[in-house]
Amino acid sequence: MTVLAEDWQCRARQLAQGLIAAGKLWSAPWQEALCAVPRHELVPDVLRRDPDGSWHRLDTTTPQGQQDWLEQVYSNKALLTAAADCPGPQSLRSSSSMPGLMTRMLEALDVHDGHRVLEIGTGTGYNTALLTHRLGDANVFSVEIEPDLLELARQRLARLGYHPTLVAGDGAAGLAEHAPFDRIIATCAVPALPWTWVQQTSPGGVILTDLKTARGAGSLVRLTRYPDRAEGRFDSTYAAFMDLRHHPAAHTPQHPRPRRQPNSHPEQRTTTLDPRTPWNCLVVWFLASFTLGPDIAVGYGRPDQNGNPTVTCLTVGDGSWAEVTLTHDQGNHHVREGGPRRVWRIIEDAHALWITLGAPGWGRFGLTVTTDHQRVWLDTPTSTHTWPLALPGPLTPDIPRVGPVTGGSTSPTPLRPGQLA
């Protein structure tokens, strides 16, 4: 398909102006990069999900279809770009994040000329292109778990004149052969920070990633590398990415949802806590996840005669479960709980703690990472309010790391910490 330069360039400028007005883009180099990189060349396919769970591509064979596609590509929206053939919640293989989230993260990296950046998660290559436009081929390195998607990104980037170093492999391992890096940016979520990323970051360098202790439980965190640790604060604004995978999606086993433990006599009571609270206030969900664990399934059930759900349903890995009615009687919601733990009581306790702490937002939390422990803290690293993270296990990648290697390298330069917007 042919897209006129004046068309996409006008759209790119409008996108940049919208992000500037929203406070998500402010420095001249990144403004120039956003206007110069044709996102449509890197995101030629946009997927939508049908009610039956299957995916279809936006039709670009008609003039109207092409305009609809360009409208999507040059809007501040996350785009679904690749899915596995198998149905189910884990079938999504890749997406292109909201441009406003990308620019906010790139601004937070505080890069300077000559900095070497490692990106975890190449995806479509759009973020890689922005980095390469800003820093040059020799200073950008990117790892992608999906070899075929990496090859597509390589070809599309090359057509635009960008030739960063791209490698297919497990992003948790980083790229030791090209370390150290001045910056590491991960466009994926991790339950704990791989220590390899800290090892591969220059002293004073920065690591920016999405920390999620459970689905939806966490946000962006910006860490500075010190001699004995990495440490920093969470961004004040929530963000979410797909989970980091250690195997290509086509080879990732489907993990069954937690199953509730049979209980013929569940505990029944009432609660004044709105069952929507964990999702209306994700910090509460984050605090609860430290007790509930990472294996949490959330859904809605017991539809009424019109097909609308009447209860929120939660199940965790040990079989504990809770159902809370969405409707209430004078502020009291009905609760049914079963299994070895009382799931909704844990969420109530997390909410009470959040209130006691002064209803903190994301910006009051931080993270410290060392070789033998990782912990979230409130306000300062020496706070009495801390929550340990489970350390990641050893890496067991089952696909080779594939080049080819392109670009060169420069010596790392001293860094100064930046601030998340």
CB 95 within 8 A of CB 171: no
Both tokens of 115, joined, read 């900095």
- From CA 313, how far away is CA 291, in angstroms rounded? 18
How many CA atoms lie less than 13 Å away from 281 in the CB half-sphere?
18
Q: At what angle do helices 28-36 and 126-135 cross, to 10 degrees?
A: 130
| Selected catalytic residue, list 91, 95, 97, 202 | 97
Tokens 């900095």: give the residue. Answer: 115
- From CA 100, how far away is CA 107, in angstroms rounded? 10
CB 171 within 8 A of CB 143: yes
Q: What is the dihedral of CA 283, 90, 250, 197, to 10 degrees?
A: 0
CB 370 within 8 A of CB 352: no
- From CA 118, how far away is CA 183, in angstroms rounded? 6
- From CA 35, how far away is CA 106, in angstroms rounded? 15
97 included as an active-site residue: yes
Query: Which of the residues are catalytic?
Result: 97
